[in-house]
Amino acid sequence: MGLEEKLPSGILLTNLERLVNYARSTSLWPATFGLACCAIEMMATGGPRHDIARFGMEVFRASPRQADLMIVAGRVSNKMAPVLRRIYDQMSDPKWVLSMGVCATSGGMFNNYALVQGVDHVVPVDMYVPGCPPRPEMLLDGLIKLHAKIQGESFADQAASA
């Protein structure tokens, strides 16, 4: 039918979207954004027992320019919200946000004046991981689901949203 039949064996064809999404999802570098106790579990995820390096994510970047994923680990206070937004703005496209723990997701049990009731008031969130704090497996589960989500993304949608 197409080009595939004219090629010799040993040559694999894919489309650019899938190739790029594969590359993006398998080396998703997180920015460190540990805000509270969830950060302890995030560090445990980076440790040898859970070993986030198996997913190509062991390099937690201190610089937002080099990061693709912001793991908001912990409660976001009203004072921290502009800082968080600024760091998000400094990250280069394409970028994703994972809200780790119920405090980041919705304020959790801290329904008071000091905390932002959900980090999606400040930045667009791609994956919500519940738990207080989520155990490392829960974070890994969220990351795996995020990888699957990235692998299904299309350039057209990204261009439309950007």
Partner 1 sequence: MTLQAWLTAAGGAVALVLLGWLALTRTVLGRGLAVPLRAMFVKPETASYPEAPRPTAPRFHGRHQLNRYADGLEKCIGCELCAWACPADAIFVQGGDNTEEQRFSPGERYAEDYQINYNRCILCGLCIEACPTRALTMTQEYEIAADSREGLIWTKDMLLVDPPEDGYDTPHTDREVRDRGLNYYGGLAVTPPTRKGGSFAPATAAPLQRAGAVVPRRELPLVPPGTGDAEGEPDGDGGSAGAGDA
Of 20-28, 46-54, 59-67, 79-87, the segment contacting partner 1 by CB under 8 A is 46-54
Which is closer to partner 1, CB of 61 or CB of 149?
149
% helix, strand, coil for the chain, step of 5 = 45, 10, 45
Q: Are 66 and 95 in contact (CB under 8 A)?
A: no
137 makes contact with partner 1 (CB under 8 A): yes
Contact partners, residue 15, CB within 8 Å, separation at least 6: none
The sign of the dihedral angle between the CA atoms of 65, 67, 72, 73 is negative
User: CB under 8 Å to 113, separation ≥6 — which residues?
Assistant: 78
Q: How far is the CB of 148 from partner 1 (least distance, A)?
A: 10
Identity of the residue, 86 or 121, whose beta carbon is nearer to partner 1 in the bound complex:
121
Exactly one of 66, 89, 144, 158 binds partner 1 (CB under 8 A); that residue is: 144
The answer to whether 81 contacts partner 1 (rule: CB under 8 A) is no
Count of chain residues binding partner 1 (CB under 8 A): 33
Q: Least distance in Å: CB of 44 to partner 1?
A: 11
Binding to partner 1 by residue 112, rule CB under 8 A?
Answer: no
Contact flag: residue 54 with partner 1 (CB under 8 A): yes
Q: Return left, alpha or beta for 44; rule: phi > 0 is left, psi -120 to 50 is alpha, else beta.
A: alpha
135 forms part of the interface with partner 1 (CB under 8 A):
yes
Angle CA 92–73–61, to nearest 5:
40
Examine residue 128 and tell whether it contacts partner 1 (CB under 8 A). Answer: yes
